[in-house]
A and B are shown apart, each in its own frame.
Chain A
Amino acid sequence: MLFWTIVKVGVKSLWANKLRSFLAMLGIIIGVASVIAMLAIGAGSRKEMMTMITSRGSNMLTISPEQVSQSGVTGGTRQNLTVADAQAMLGVEGVQRVAPVVSGNMQIKFRGKNQPTPVAGCTSTYLPIRSFEIESGRCFSDADEESRTRVAVLGPATVEKLFGVDDPLNQIIKIKGLNFRVIGVTKAKGDQGWFNPDNQAFIPYTTAMDQLFGTTYLREINIQATTAEELKPVQERLTALLRRRHKLLDGMEDDFRIRNQADFIAMANQMNQTFTLLLGSIASISLLVGGIGIMNIMLVTVTERTREIGIRKAIGATEKSIMHQFLAETLIISGAGGLIGSLAGIGLALVLPTFTPFKTDLQWTSVLMALIFSGGVGIFFGWYPARRAAQLVPVEALRYE
């Protein structure tokens, strides 16, 4: 029979059983839609993690004191990183920038408005290390650091909360009761869900240590390596340097911890792969179940239409043409299901972020894959019932009641 005749006959007999055809299709629709949506969520969360990690700075190493641990119980944080440690790191090969950091959450006040804000006491190098840029005004200078000036650079979100649309530059804000002059505002990076980098205040670390936190130790030291390849060697050199400076003997454990951004990325990737695999396999199972649903319906259809098959064979249908007819029907079901499912999946991927915390990144390859796969499901699960129909002996099929 001609191709279009087969398609026409297939559509017709599916149409005659609208509800059943739709139910058979539903499994594929749900399967395909969930594969696409799940993979979009996986890719979306990966993308989000990556921007989060890289927006925290590139080629960065973070050095912090090791937690005090006695017989396995972690106690407080050690206080052992000094400004001198940070200065010594400047001379290490492969180190481009060094930023000593003290930090804590503080209330910032301006004319009766109050904004809880993470305050970072740091050098001006902290901003480029952490990929912050100055939008207006300036950052504090070496001289400011030297003379412990009370100046602050604010994030745009903090500015908006405290000043609204007014110009914050040269206004005096209060941090922990002390007056600070606003000298700059950073460029917006965008809220990242559980952490907003745009709500921050940066002040000279010297000022912060002396006047805000009253400490002589650093919370952490941020290092920017010259290249990504340098991260590992720099990490080793810094470890050696700090062990020497902290007078650790061989066999003693490090009293500091160096975290490498590449480790973060690798860890995030790992987590994400597991996550995506999990989502993907759940979705694939539903696609498989959908396929079995189609097979079930087609087997029922073959049994139910045994007599029809007998009649068709009696008037000259070959095995091939019967086979084609039934395959066409399953392919129409799974193809239409795949198409509708793809549209639903694409729709889901687009609207999910608007009302759920999930971020999505639609993967066109997954749409293509799901479509091909649903076609495959149609052929795979339709083949057996189709063959059964085709191989019936005409007279036995005719006798079927």
Chain B
Amino acid sequence: MNDVIDARNLIKRYQVGEDAVRALDGVNLRVAEGELAAITGPSGSGKSTLMHVIGCLDVPDEGEYYLAGENVAKLSSDRLANIRNRRIGFVFQTFNLLPRMTSLENVELPLMYAGLRHGVRERAVVALERVGLQNRMFHAPNQLSGGQRQRVAIARALVTDPALILADEPTGNLDTHIGEEIMQLLLELHAGGRTILIVTHEPDIAARCRRQIHIRDGRIVEPAGGG
């Protein structure tokens, strides 16, 4: 199988005053197409940092990262924007919806940045139906519950039909019951053939992923031997 993600010796440092923090301290990670993996580890171990690098939202200080065989460091900012738009769907712990827009408009946005002229509305509606929000399309984020917001965010992540979905503690702000629904959604998406990485603190959720990646102090300590 092809590796969607091939990260080699990633290092990311932060300098805060006198202290140098190594958020990533030589991470090697390969994820094959169609995998479902959970990333776990204590708080501050570098999970989010890794997700950001994988999601092309951040760049490592050292190391190489190949996304579907392409060396990300060599890509222009336009190309990276394009990758974030079409190939990756990012789901955040804090939802990150645009507050002044309706669910529908939020979901339409990636399609607009994709330069789509036709079918924008239709595709957004389909994505919202997919997450079960067909009757919340014209609500603003502050008129939705936390679980509903996260479902809008998932609809937004999958509306451009990306091969890779990255979810950084998608259930972290939700109670267990609602978190379970979100997890169910992600599992369905995986069943549909997508590669999915989920950062989580919850053993329950991690247990449902075939592969588990554990991080401590910016290093992967228990690589489960690959999918």
Contacts and interface: CB of A to CB of B under 8 A. Distances in A.
Interface of A: 1-2, 5, 12-13, 16, 307-308, 310-321, 393-395, 398
A13 B81 contact: no
Given A16-B100, A315-B90, A393-B58, A320 B78 contact: yes
A16 B140 CA distance: 14
5 contacts: A312-B109, A314-B57, A318-B78, A319-B77, A321-B113
A321 B78 CA distance: 10
Contact of B84 (A12, A13, A316): A316
B83 to A, nearest CB: 8
Interface in B46-84: 52, 55, 57-59, 77-78, 81-82, 84
B114 interface: yes
A394 B166 CA distance: 15
B155 to A, nearest CB: 12
B81 A395 contact: no
Given A1-B112, A13-B100, A316 B58 contact: no
Interface in B1-27: none
Contacts of B40: none
A356 B115 CA distance: 56
A307 B110 CA distance: 16
Contacts of B112: 1-2, 5
B117 A315 contact: no
A398 B96 contact: yes
A13 B6 CA distance: 40
A153 to B, nearest CB: 78
B110 to A, nearest CB: 5
B110 A316 contact: yes
A319 B117 CA distance: 20
A338 B69 CA distance: 52
B103 interface: no
Contacts of B149: none
Contacts of A12: 100
Q: Which of A13, A307, A314, A315 has the most CB of B within 10 A?
A: A315
A127 B110 CA distance: 82
Interface string B138-158: 000000000000000000100
A1 B113 contact: yes
B57 A395 contact: yes
B60 to A, nearest CB: 12
B113 A398 contact: no
B214 interface: no
Nearest to A15: B100
B52 A317 contact: no
B98 A395 contact: no
Given A316-B85, A393-B57, A398-B96, 4 more contacts: A313-B84, A314-B57, A318-B81, A393-B58
A318 B90 contact: no
Given A318-B77, A394-B57, A398-B57, A311 B82 contact: no
Interface residues of B, number: 27
A317 B113 CA distance: 6
Interface in B81-126: 81-82, 84-86, 90, 92, 96-98, 100, 109-110, 112-115, 117
A311 B58 contact: no
Q: Which interface residue of A1, A13, A316, A394 has the most chain B CB atoms within 10 A? A: A316
Contacts of B160: 316
A321 B114 CA distance: 11
Contacts of B52: 395
Contacts of A321: 113
B57 A315 contact: no
A1 B115 CA distance: 6
B10 to A, nearest CB: 14
B97 to A, nearest CB: 8
B158 to A, nearest CB: 12
Contacts of B115: 1-2
B156 A315 contact: yes
Contacts of A398: 57, 92, 96
A312 B112 CA distance: 11
A334 B127 CA distance: 38
Interface in B122-181: 156, 160
Contact of B85 (A2, A5, A307, A315): A315
A316 B115 CA distance: 10
Contact of A311 (B78, B85, B86, B98): B98
Given A12-B100, A308-B98, A311-B96, A316 B113 contact: yes
Q: Which of A2, A317, A393, A394 lies at the interface centre, i.e. has the most chain B CB atoms within 10 A of its CB?
A: A394
A292 B92 CA distance: 37
A12 B100 CA distance: 9
A319 B92 CA distance: 22
Contacts of A314: 55, 57, 84, 90, 96
Interface string B216-227: 000000000000
A320 B76 CA distance: 13
A394 B55 CA distance: 10
A186 B86 CA distance: 86
The 8 closest A-B pairs by CB, nearest first: A316-B85, A395-B58, A318-B81, A316-B113, A394-B57, A395-B57, A315-B110, A395-B52
A398 B51 CA distance: 13
B57 A316 contact: no
A1 B120 CA distance: 12
A308 B110 CA distance: 14
A312 B160 CA distance: 14
A316 B77 contact: no
Contacts of A313: 57, 81, 84
